[in-house]
Structure 1
């Protein structure tokens, strides 16, 4: 772990890299679209089957046990804590997307929840009028006009795209856990708890996915639509949704899931 941290770019180098990306990307007026193009469908379906099998054998039972033995207040605190850990990435990406006002508000939210909220266990910022946001580098690239490229299913991580998959690395190195000096057992214990908690929060959606005629296609198309909601901050133009789905597909898939807050 120490070897990995030693290879993290210095802040000055990271800023220089961001500046180069900004210059090369220019000021795109139309965000890059997220497409459901699936030229690697055979491979993606194979990875989806692997993920689904691993989930049913290992992750889902653990998530169900976690949800059964932990009270709601405990899960709320865990969710707040891990959500707060993602906020440095959200703040940086707000500024990269040209939204300094929201970036400053999100910085205030992060400071308030980290201090008054006892390390993020309590969400005191939302009642104070600082609503939660969720930005990542994949959304930033889309704002810069970078198209998604083909749809891609990642082992263990699930739905993604050629644009969004490598963007995860940028956001990973903005996470506080990379830089906090704690034993590696504690760090990966926290990461494991994050995975289990996130899976437990998705358990109510299992019945909807299982009832779909083609769960793989349902997940792919729902992810693409949700990604567009995220990129447009919950307000995609009507023509974007029309491009994502034909009337026949929309009737087959049913209502799209609400965007993640």
Structure 2
């Protein structure tokens, strides 16, 4: 669910707005599995992390990790032909890495230079590659074949993937693990209220699928959908009141 509410995947056809979910049976099983992992592992770990880590420290972790994504975002901006957005990404990275002390503070954001997110899945969408069917993967959460492939390319683009430390050959692996764990915990804490609201829905699987799809479409277009469009095909929850 963290992946579904923070990242995005396009599974909505332009003509009908219907999510392409031919593997719904499998996807629901994976959704239930991920829910159990969140309930018994990720959720409690995030609660403990929130308890021992003050908000100020979590904000610094979030800004630092976001700054590390800048090289990948910059390359995808260029691949999409978005020169202005690429300039913004580069400017933010330079400002935050220097004046923000290695990205611990989003100085650029505080001064009105807002960031954005891009990934190779979005780049493929801009190039006209179809998303393929909606998928829910164990632990990874919602995605599509296009975006699953794109995430692998993004990892290959990331300079930290190829960084080696001569004095400590295992340090790069430790950094990658630490980055993933902290990023997951930070995201889980930030999205706690949204996840509670999602679980309160009679059909959280359908709700998440729609939210995920709609958000992805908005990000591909570098804009946002209005609320009515984002939830137009959710089921009538009044049906479930009895």
TM beyond 0.5: yes
Tell me which of 20, 35, 48 is aligned to 1:52.
Answer: 35
Moved more, 179-188 or 89-98: 179-188
- Residue correspondences, number: 217
- What does the per-residue CA deviation read over 1:160-218, in whole Å, with 9 as the maximum and x for residues that have no partner? 11211111011112224313335123431232112211211111112211111111111
Match of 1:229 in 2: 218
Q: 5+ residue gaps in structure 1? A: 1-32, 255-261
1:198 maps onto 2:175 in alignment? no
SS state of the match for residue 126, structure 1? helix
Structure ranking higher on relative contact order (CA contacts 8 Å, 6+ apart): 2
Q: 5+ residue gaps in structure 2? A: 1-9, 13-18, 166-170
The CA RMSD over aligned residues, in Å, is 2.2
Match of 2:6 in 1: none
Contact persistence 1:90–1:106 (CA under 8 A): yes
Tell me which of 195, 198, 201 is aligned to 1:212.
Answer: 201
- What does the per-residue CA deviation read over 1:110-129, in whole Å, with 9 as the maximum and x for residues that have no partner? 11111221111111111333
SS state of the match for residue 153, structure 1? strand
Distance of aligned partners of 1:245 and 1:145 in 2 relative to their CA distance in 1, 3 Å threshold: farther
Match of 1:252 in 2: 236
Q: Normalising by structure 2, report the TM-score.
A: 0.82
Distance 2:149 2:155 in 1: 10
Contact persistence 1:106–1:130 (CA under 8 A): no
Q: Normalising by structure 1, report the TM-score.
A: 0.77
Tell me which of 97, 100, 112 is aligned to 1:129.
Answer: 112
Distance of aligned partners of 1:160 and 1:253 in 2 relative to their CA distance in 1, 3 Å threshold: farther
Match of 1:94 in 2: 77
Distance 1:150 1:245 in 2: 19
Contact persistence 2:206–2:234 (CA under 8 A): no
Distance of aligned partners of 1:52 and 1:235 in 2 relative to their CA distance in 1, 3 Å threshold: closer
SS state of the match for residue 159, structure 1? strand
Match of 2:178 in 1: 189
Contact persistence 2:125–2:220 (CA under 8 A): yes
1:171 maps onto 2:144 in alignment? no
